[in-house]
Structure 1
Amino acid sequence: MEPSGRPATIYDVAQAAGVSHQTVSRFLKGFTGIRPETRQRVERALDELGYRPNLTARSLKSGRSHRIGALTHEVSHVGPSRIAQGASVAAREAGYVLDLVSLDVEDPRAIEESLELMAQFDLAGVLALSSTDAMTRAFEATRFRVPVLIAVASDDDGRRTDPAAVHLHELVGHLAGLGHRRLVHIAGPAEWPASRLRLRAYDDAVRDLGLASVGVLSGDWSARSGYDAIMALPELPEATAYLAANDQTALGAMLALKERGLRIPDDVSVVGIDDVADAAFFDPPLTTLHLEFEAQGRASVLQLIGSIEGVDGSRPDLPTPHLVVRGSSGPAPASTRP
């Protein structure tokens, strides 16, 4: 409840959290050097008091906008939607408003019109959440009048920046530890850098662990594509494990494998990537690589705000993805073990 029926101030938040108002101010600006226990107290106080920054007053005082334009697409997909959600929450905590614009990357004119519309607003900065090559090309060809951060999964500098690709070796290693030697990968769409990075990481892990990849199937992140990829095969490959590029693809693949007479995990194991909220309720529950999408969005917007405010704009460290083992993965059939 807000004190005295008036909007809460950072001084009210500071008193409730037992910290100085300077600490609250640093938290709202995205400062990362605050102790975890202090951060938790501030977050709790902000929530309990319903604190909302007065953006109009801040903008008049500073002569600077506190609105950020966020450009994305495919918000129906789990990853982009949760990344955008994390960015929105972090922007609000730092005293900014995030205006989300969803682009149709299949229509170049629609992209141009959206970018022109965004340019008409008084923005402090632009966060370009790029998922595909087409989006990245459009963003890089646009001249923004304000600070911009293009967040894209890329390894152009020799480093994999897709968290799943960086840690996919752990997922393949889990299958190897269960005795699986022959694997199939159901990839995401080729125009997504994250998909290409995961495919490359899969190939590297299979090679490093002395396994064999007996097929790479094409998907588009959807359960339908996972189902269709399996059902379209004239004959199933001699594989004991399938690694899907994301959990939805894994869901469709599981149904198709069952319809083709295989038991999961007795005959074949299936694993995914993302750890969506429903993964624990698949039949059987899905073994997957847990990703913190919200943290990706949060890190990107805080890096942009650092550039806007002329402070440290380095990207905060992201939580490490980790393996979540459930019922969809089990020992390879005894007849296939070396």
Structure 2
Amino acid sequence: MESSESAVTRRPATIYDVAQAAGVSHQTVSRFLKGFEGIRPETREKVERALDELGYRPNLTARSLKSGRSHRIGALTHEVSHVGPSRIAAGAGAAAREAGYVLDLVALDVDDARSIEESLELLTQHDLAGVLALSSTDAMTRAFEETRFRVPALIAVSSDSDGGRHDPAATHLHELVDHLAALGHRRFVHIAGPVEWPAARWRTQMYERAVDELGLTSVGVLPGDWSSRSGYQAIMSLPTLPHATAYVAANDQTALGVMLALKERGVRIPEDVSVVGIDDIGDAAYFDPPLTTLHLEFEAQGQASVLELIATIEGAPRTFDPIAQPHVVARRSSGPAPR
């Protein structure tokens, strides 16, 4: 049976607990939480340390009652099993908490139009400060654009091909092609993502543009759906392998399937061909061989989106930290082109 002392230590910390731990008054803690600037640096440091040690979280219910407005944000997404959407949502959630908001995540079934409508109707009935619509597909974007949100809403489209918010991977994909070209590769294959995702279409366009601008040759674009299985099937379904020395996969999971299929067909990596991916997922460094990939800051994308929405909600300008640019992480899956 737990001791009463253990039970007490597990209850949520209050500003009085923080004040006691920091050796200051609870009024000082309250002023700190409200953003009051006239607190001495040494006092501010004590309060920050106490907040961190106690894991203090503001009482949003009480805060909402006092201010007369909600501090909950509804976040709409789908395919949370995919690395990109899940990490973007995680980044948005963390940034919302730091700003004093709670992010309610709702995963949609984009293949069921009625399901999207019902989820949107249910969400907009709640007392929300705003809605963050994390759109990855054409169907999601259409549904969001046709919805009349009762609160401030931000539709964060992953990318488009019309000069709007571009997928950061696509705009830096030429760096992957440059990396391979520097290793002597001249003939390429691209394994694409699903066509209903603007990000996939844009990555394919940028791949083709990079190959063309460097005077290289693309010997084919194979269909995929972001999964390892689709990468594997794309290679195994070919009657004969294309005369190419470099394979550019739309993401790391696809690259994993491509690598297995090539090995089963007797091709060595990187001695015979090089394979590269996009995302730099946590397991990419432990593929066999470790995967060369384009590193993306998914969490930072989610953070930027939610902070943009909060700025709209609060009607106050915010300064945003610049998102680190994608960059190539060279590992052993890419090597010099064979003679």
Shared fold per TM-score greater than 0.5: yes
Displacement, 1:225? Answer: 0.2
Going from structure 1 to structure 2, the CA distance change for 1:22 and 1:317 (only over 3 Å counts) comes to farther
Pair 1:49-2:54 in alignment? yes
Going from structure 1 to structure 2, the CA distance change for 1:172 and 1:21 (only over 3 Å counts) comes to farther
Distance 2:321 2:226 in 1: 28
Distance 2:134 2:101 in 1: 17
Within the candidate set 53, 63, 71, 1:58 is matched to 63
Distance 1:322 1:41 in 2: 38
1:280 matched residue in structure 2: 285
Give the structure-2-normalised TM-score: 0.87
Displacement, 1:7? Answer: 2.2
Within the candidate set 287, 298, 312, 1:307 is matched to 312
Going from structure 1 to structure 2, the CA distance change for 1:129 and 1:10 (only over 3 Å counts) comes to farther
Going from structure 1 to structure 2, the CA distance change for 1:145 and 1:314 (only over 3 Å counts) comes to farther
1:214 matched residue in structure 2: 219
Displacement, 1:197? Answer: 1.1
1:138 matched residue in structure 2: 143
Distance 1:48 1:229 in 2: 51
Greater radius of gyration (CA): 2
One-letter code aligned to 2:130 = G
2:41 matched residue in structure 1: none
Pair 1:97-2:102 in alignment? yes
2:39 matched residue in structure 1: none
Identical aligned pairs, as a percentage? 74
One-letter code aligned to 1:104 = D
SS of structure 1 residue aligned to 2:126? coil
Distance 1:206 1:109 in 2: 42
SS of structure 2 residue aligned to 1:183? strand
Pair 1:110-2:115 in alignment? yes
Displacement, 1:204? Answer: 1.3
Distance 2:213 2:267 in 1: 28
Displacement, 1:155? Answer: 3.7
**Do the aligned partners of 2:18 and 2:47 also contact (CA within 8 Å) in 1?**
no
Pair 1:7-2:33 in alignment? no
Deviates more, 1:72-81 or 1:311-320: 311-320
1:247 matched residue in structure 2: 252
Give the structure-1-normalised TM-score: 0.87
SS of structure 2 residue aligned to 1:65? coil
Distance 1:186 1:26 in 2: 50
Question: CA deviation digits over 1:259-290, x for unaligned, max 9?
Answer: 11100000000000000000010000000001
**Do the aligned partners of 1:8 and 1:49 also contact (CA within 8 Å) in 2?**
no
| Runs (5+) with no aligned partner, structure 2 | 1-7, 23-27, 37-44
Question: CA deviation digits over 1:200-224, x for unaligned, max 9?
Answer: 1111111121111110001000000
Displacement, 1:49? Answer: 2.7
SS of structure 1 residue aligned to 2:222? strand
Going from structure 1 to structure 2, the CA distance change for 1:327 and 1:43 (only over 3 Å counts) comes to farther
Write out aligned runs for 1:97-176 (5 A). Answer: 97-155=102-160, 158-159=163-164, 161-176=166-181
Distance 2:16 2:308 in 1: 23
Aligned length, in residue pairs? 322
**Do the aligned partners of 2:295 and 2:329 also contact (CA within 8 Å) in 1?**
yes
One-letter code aligned to 2:13 = P
2:261 matched residue in structure 1: 256
Distance 2:232 2:311 in 1: 44
RMSD: 2.9
Distance 1:246 1:42 in 2: 43
Displacement, 1:149? Answer: 0.4
**Do the aligned partners of 1:279 and 1:285 also contact (CA within 8 Å) in 2?**
yes
One-letter code aligned to 1:128 = A
Going from structure 1 to structure 2, the CA distance change for 1:50 and 1:231 (only over 3 Å counts) comes to same
Going from structure 1 to structure 2, the CA distance change for 1:136 and 1:319 (only over 3 Å counts) comes to same
Going from structure 1 to structure 2, the CA distance change for 1:43 and 1:144 (only over 3 Å counts) comes to farther
